[in-house]
Amino acid sequence: MVFTTTFTFDWPTLKITTMEKMIILTDSGSDLTDAQAQQYGVAVVRNPMVVGGENFIENNTITDEEVMRRMRDGQTVTTSQPTLGSVIETVDALLKTYDKVIYVPISSGLSGTYASACSLIAQYDGRLVVVDSKAVAYLLGYQVKKAAEMIKLGYSAEQIKATLESHYYFAILIPENLTALKRGGRVKPAVAALGNLLKIIPLLQVKDGVIDVYDKVRTLKKAYEHGIEAVVDVEDRDEYEFAVLHTIDMADAARQKAMELEAIVGSKVYVGPLRSIIAAHTGPGTLAWGRIRKIHVEQQ
């Protein structure tokens, strides 16, 4: 699939039209499957994982179900950003077909992927554009999908970058416990141990691309109530896309909570999984509520 952006310059006696073929590249942090990537016309570079001491590539050599089973069995799961070599290989391959690659990786506040990609910009002489999405999971996937639409509608790479970097999001993560977050360095070991011991349920906010503690409560029911209240706390709800995300073992609970959220916001709520790269850091039994301001696109 080839998408084009057209620039037309009118001179007194000459009309010159140049065309740039562009494609969006993202990483596993977008939670996009290969089928979804093909549907949207985007490319994905996959993240490495270590599960129980074995090396895998997310989506390619291990399934979400297998990762979750191993986590439930107590196996350690760690993730890494895509290797610089794999990013270079992917960009080089895409530039054989496209004039420009727009790379939209996971938030710079959650991974070093963005910084690593920025180190490559100079060697591509303007043909690689890197976007700091400040997003993760479905909310990053939403940005990627909209960016692909913007290419079709004639937006320039600079317009796409500026639009995505101005559309931040907010989410509340509610994990089953703090074990995986402690392992990933998101919370201090002493805090995690005390929280698990006292059965404190943390509400973690993902805001401006970083994770922080939003609240702590004593029951899961109260945590879920606070999560919904936080995500709908905006003036004009019609201007936002809302989502309920879940680790694959929480699908039924997510559908129920999505119905509750739909009754409040009065519109359809996206329900989807937190795939392995994200679930490895939150742990099993995680639900999340998210919102992102709608990106309105039009023909240029």
* Residue-level pLDDT at 52: 94
Bridge partners of residue 216, in order along the sequence: 202
Let me know if residue 267 belongs to a domain. yes
Question: What would the two tokens of residue 192 be?
Answer: 């995690």
Confidence class of residue 218 from pLDDT cuts 50, 70 and 90? confident
Same domain, 160 and 175: no
**Has residue 246 got a pLDDT over 50?**
yes
Tell me which of 165, 187, 212 is where a domain ends. Answer: 165
Q: Are residues 96 and 228 in the same domain?
A: no
Q: What percent of the chain has pLDDT over 70?
A: 86
Residues 6+ apart with CB under 8 A from 271: 243, 244, 245, 246, 254, 255, 258
Q: Quick one: 191 and 255 in the same domain? A: yes
In this prediction, residue 94 carries a pLDDT of 98
Domain that holds residue 113: 4-45+83-165
Q: Is residue 49 within a helix (H) or strand (E), and if so which, with residue range?
A: strand 48-51
* Whether residue 136 is found in the same domain as residue 230: no
119 pLDDT above the threshold of 70: yes
Type of residue found at 178: L
Contact 167, 139 (CB under 8 A): no
Counting the structural domains of the chain, the total is 2
**Residues whose CB is less than 8 angstroms from the CB of residue 186 and which lie 6 or more positions away in sequence, other chains included:** 204, 211, 281
Q: Residue 189: pLDDT above 80?
A: no
Q: Which tokens go with 291?
A: 């919102």
- For residue 62, being part of any structural domain is answered with no
Of the candidates 102, 148, 154, which has an alpha carbon nearest to the alpha carbon of residue 126?
A: 102
pLDDT at 216 (0 to 100): 84
- What pLDDT was estimated at residue 9? 34
What would the pLDDT profile of 262-297 be if each residue is shown by its tens digit?
A: 999 999 999 999 999 999 988 899 999 999 999 998
Tally Cβ neighbours within 10 Å of residue 282. 26
pTM of the model: 0.87
Residue 15 has pLDDT above 90, yes or no: no
Domain presence at residue 247: yes
CB 262 within 8 A of CB 137: no
Q: Token pair for residue 143?
A: 């940005």
Q: Report the pLDDT value the prediction gives residue 261, as an integer from 0 to 100.
A: 97
Question: What CA–CA distance (Å, rounded) separates 208 from 102?
Answer: 21
Binned at pLDDT 50, 70 and 90, residue 120 comes out as: very high
- 176 and 157 together in one domain: no
Q: Are residues 137 and 22 in the same domain?
A: yes
pLDDT tier at 17, thresholds 50, 70, 90: very low
CATH number of the domain enclosing 150: 3.40.50.10440
Residues 180 and 144 in one domain: no
Q: What is the pLDDT of residues 173-182, one digit of tens each?
A: 998 876 666 5
Asked if residue 31 and residue 144 are part of one domain, the reply reads yes
Confidence class for position 197, pLDDT limits 50, 70, 90: low
Same domain, 193 and 136: no
